[in-house]
Amino acid sequence: MKRKEFLRNSLMAGTFLATGSTAVAKNSVQMDDSELYQKHDFKLKYAPNFGTFRAHAGDDPIDNIKFFADLGFRGLEDNGMRGRDVRTQERIARQLEESGVEMGVFVANSINWSEPTLVLGDEEINNRFLDDIRDSVEVAQRVNATWMTVVPGHIDLRLAMDYQEINLINVLKRACEILEPHGLVMVLEPLNTLRDHPGMVLTTTSQAYRICKAVGSPSCKILYDAYHQAITEGNMIPNMDDAWDEIPYLQLGDHPGRNEPYTGEINYRNIFKFLYEKGFDGIVGMEHGKSVSGREGEKLLIEAYLKADDFEV
């Protein structure tokens, strides 16, 4: 099916939304379908994932990429890319290139959410992590990715934090020796411990900044996730500004709820304007859910990004 026909069919199938649903979301600006289903000139590289538009584009990765591109989204995130088979990775890479969509992060390491790992200085654990990094180099080259997410994992309640950070810094330096020759970058993601990930060792922007400076490599940077930092520390724009030279990549979700912009308390229009005025040319990963399910929720998500992207320049 040609892409124009695909969008037209999506538009026709979506007309039931005007009368067939009584749900109203806070982010809705009641745009006509004809305004939604066109290629938008977004100011930043917002990056959906393969589940973001499932009700419109189905489950096939290729159809998803085409749909993203037809709407004007210029990035893709896929945390599980490392687990996909080689043939699928190659198909995705070809379609990304054809559609002009940039590959964002995938998760580079196996994460233990309940037991300490990289903070221990344990050689066996470190070697498994470094094997993950080597595997991720191959994946990144296959899908033309630059960034990969690294989550350092859980704290050790029996070891002083200073020692834990030193152990972490040492193994990250070894990972950079693998990544640097290929021009690849692992981005460390601070996570909130108050709601989603209790016990994580890396939690704040300043801590991630300190660790990246200690590692001292262009292959070790920060993934600033606005959802997590809204919960952990607030003061988001000043914190990003202070750590700016170590932040090449962002993710987002509104809070509370971890859904699209305008479903929570975060003023994403101001955050996006800040990024644009800083000359940010990286990817803004849409690592969140939707406040409303199905096609209606996907339409509301498009509206939310159009609204948040509508800032003066």
- pLDDT values of the chain reduced to their tens digit, one per residue, 313 residues: 455 454 545 444 444 333 333 334 455 456 678 789 999 999 999 999 999 999 999 999 999 999 999 999 999 999 999 999 999 999 999 999 999 999 999 999 999 999 999 999 999 999 999 999 999 999 999 999 999 999 999 999 999 999 999 999 999 999 999 999 999 999 999 999 999 999 999 999 999 999 999 999 999 999 999 999 999 999 999 999 999 999 999 999 999 999 999 999 999 999 999 999 999 999 999 999 999 999 999 999 999 999 999 999 9
Q: Please, what sign has the CA dihedral across residues 219, 223, 224, 230?
A: negative
- 8 A C-beta contact, residue 142 and residue 72: no
List, in order of start, the domains of the chain with CATH numbers: 3-308 (3.20.20.150)
pTM for the predicted model, two decimal places: 0.90
The alpha carbon of 1 is separated from its chain's Cα centroid by a whole number of angstroms, namely: 30
- The residue written with tokens 């350092």 in the block is 152
